[in-house]
Amino acid sequence: MAVTLTFHGAAGTVTGSHYVLQTPRARIAVDCGMFQGPKILKELNYQELPSDPAHLDAVVQTHAHTDHSGMLPKLVKSGFRGPIFATEGTRDLLEWMLPDSAGIQEGEVEQLNRQNRRRGLPPVVPVYDGDDARRTLKHIKPVAYDTWQEVAHGIRGRWWNAGHILGSASIELEVETGNDKLPRLGILFSGDLGPRQGALQTPSTGPQGMDYVLCESTYGDREREDLDDDKRRAILEKEVKTALDAGGNLLIPAFAIERSQELLGDLVYLMARKRLPRAPVYLDSPLAIGATEVFERHLHLMDDVDNGGMSPFRAPNVHFVESVEQSQALNRIAGGAIIIASSGMCDAGRIRHHLRHNIWRPQTTVLLIGYQAPGTLGRLLQDGAPRVKLMGEEIEVKARIRKLEIYSGHADRGDLRNWVKARLPIARGLFLVHGEIGALAGMRDSVLTLGLDAERVILPELDQRFQLDRQDGALALEDGRRLEPTRAEEVRRGWDWHNELSAVSLDLRRQLDDLGDDKARMKLLKDLRRMLEKTGSAS
């Protein structure tokens, strides 16, 4: 039996990290993440998992972000009974993240089912619930960095600091192949890699001389300015001052884990030194609050945290917003507040309510500080959409939309190239994963300058399977794909018919508003109806 690796996520797209490694003696998964972005991708979260959970021996986990861990409860719900190996930091964060994710699933489905009842449609069930999340936590087995751990028969792993978030790791696997010509394989999964100068994390590390390496490529096509702590804080200082001077609120959609803590730490630092006014700062995310408490327990792992024995994330003007009622009360604040809320891509969570109450105000500033996947509300705002739909309501965007990449937790193209260079030699193949099509292409061009064989730099597709135990590199195998070619192309473009429908409806409304009178509006609508009827009869 051959050693195979199947790419069930983060292949040709950024989210949904999930790889299955099969050997003659074992079958394990690396990560089990949730798809985010276009609805065509998110729909995969509701389908059966392709990895046959009941027949997995173990999961090895790189870190706690939802796109890498958010489907673990569904794995358990679907019959997985083995251990989930993760660092202590990842374990502690998942204790908050997984129940929070379950709450989001249950809340969204409850709202959808209310709509479905009115439409006469059947109810749907959440991807998983709180009980599934709590059962999943019992499967987690903490591991130490830089220490070998047997994870299944014939497979042992070692976790290396990835510098991305608290507890994040690249995972080195040593695999027995059962092949006399190539008895062992070394495979390295990068996970998400942090920048060379992160706000809280130390730089990434890793081994050399692997047979295969999987490297993330989120920012594989772009470079960012090299910023130290002083430069980063100076940029934030300028943005916050400009936003507060405009008289409105400053809304910051932030990922609950790491980005919220980095941002909060810098705001506290700047305000303590009177470089910013002590404006009220609201951290409006139960998950971010819980994650902050985990960070406070692990301050000894943080890079250059000078807190004088106090938490770097707290101050008298910093308010942790726990309840829904407290969150809703923030909508009565017309200006002068800094509201940090998840989710970072504006696709869920409390930030959507704050956007709904604020983005139509020209005094408002929305500061995007993290990656925005195609098809998300955050990406639409970043790309300058004049109108958006929020919770069923069409809203004109008059707020200032600002984008800062100074808090990105991902390595840029130069960082990624240097990380790959430090892993050389790579004997049999480099897989580029976790990136949009442009980022993957840019990353491929970058690493080819290191002298790698072009045929051994591989961009796998979703659900593609490869045989690894060969002297001359990976062999692509025929395997079942969840998406037909047309839909797979929509995923690569990051734009599906749901996005197109939303854009068309917004454009139609804008044209109707721009027409001079009701007679002209009625003519446009009748012309559109005739076209639809003609199309329907033709089909």
Q: Is the pLDDT of residue 40 over 90?
A: no
- 176 vs 2: CA distance, rounded Å: 11
441's CB contacts (< 8 A; 6+ apart) are: 221
Residue 458 bridge partners (DSSP):
431
- Among 110-114, 215-219, 293-297, 365-369, the range scoring the smallest mean pLDDT is 110-114
Compute how many other C-beta atoms are within 10 angstroms of the C-beta atom of residue 81: 10
Amino acid letter for position 26 = A
Output the CA angle 507-489-393, nearest 5 degrees: 30
pLDDT score recorded for residue 304:
61
SS3 category, 142: strand
- Tens of pLDDT along 401-425? 999 988 878 999 999 999 999 999 9
The predicted-structure confidence for 342-385, as pLDDT tens digits, reads as follows: 888 898 889 999 999 999 999 999 999 988 877 789 999 999 99
Average pLDDT over residues 268-296: 94
Mean pLDDT, residues 105-120 = 86
Cα 105 to Cα 74: distance, rounded to the nearest angstrom: 11
φ and ψ at 437, to 5 degrees? Answer: -60, -40
DSSP assigned state of 367: E
The pTM score is 0.84
Mean pLDDT over residues 10-24, rounded? 96
Which of the pair, 57 or 537, is modelled with greater confidence? Answer: 57
What does the pLDDT read at residue 24?
95
**Band (498; pLDDT cuts 50, 70, 90):** low
Q: Which of 128-137, 193-202, 298-307, 484-493 has the lowest mean pLDDT?
A: 484-493
Per-residue tokens: 515: 């027409």
Predicted local distance difference test score (pLDDT) of residue 185? 97
pLDDT exceeding 70 applies to what percent of the chain?
A: 94
CA 351 – CA 353 distance, rounded (Å)? 5
Confidence of residue 397 (pLDDT cuts 50, 70, 90): very high
Instruction: Return the half-sphere exposure (C-beta side, CA atoms, 13 A cut-off) of residue 264.
Output: 35
Contacts of 144 (CB under 8 A, 6+ apart): 87, 88, 159
Residue that the structure tokens 């012309």 belong to: 527
Q: Report yes or no: 3 and 29 within 8 Å, Cβ to Cβ.
A: no
**56-65 pLDDT per residue, tens:** 999 999 999 9
Q: Give the contacts of 114 (CB within 8 A, at least 6 positions apart).
A: none
Task: Please state the separation of Cα 128 from the chain's center in Å.
Answer: 19
Distances (CA, A) of 505 to 116, 387, 389, 518: 21, 10, 10, 18
Stretch 306-319: mean pLDDT, rounded?
A: 82
Query: Is the pLDDT at 236 greater than 90, yes or no?
Result: yes
pLDDT at 539 over 60: no
Q: Is the pLDDT of residue 484 over 80?
A: no
- State the Cα angle at 229 between 350 and 217, rounded to 5°: 65
pLDDT for 373 equals: 77
pLDDT of residue 307: 58
How high does pLDDT run on average in the chain? Answer: 91
Label residue 173 by pLDDT band (50, 70, 90): very high
The pLDDT of residue 480 is above 80: no
Which of 36-45, 244-253, 275-284 has the lowest average pLDDT? Answer: 36-45
Mean pLDDT within 234-252? 97
pLDDT band with cut points at 50, 70 and 90 for residue 497: low
What percent of the chain has pLDDT above 90? 69
**Rounded CA gap, 33 and 71, in Å?**
5
Q: Give which of 74, 37, 96, 111 is closest to 285, Cα–Cα.
A: 96
pLDDT > 80? residue 493: no
Contact 460/7 with Cβ under 8 angstroms?
yes
Specify the pLDDT at position 306: 57
Whose tokens are 């069409």? That residue is: 394
pLDDT of 434 strictly over 90? yes
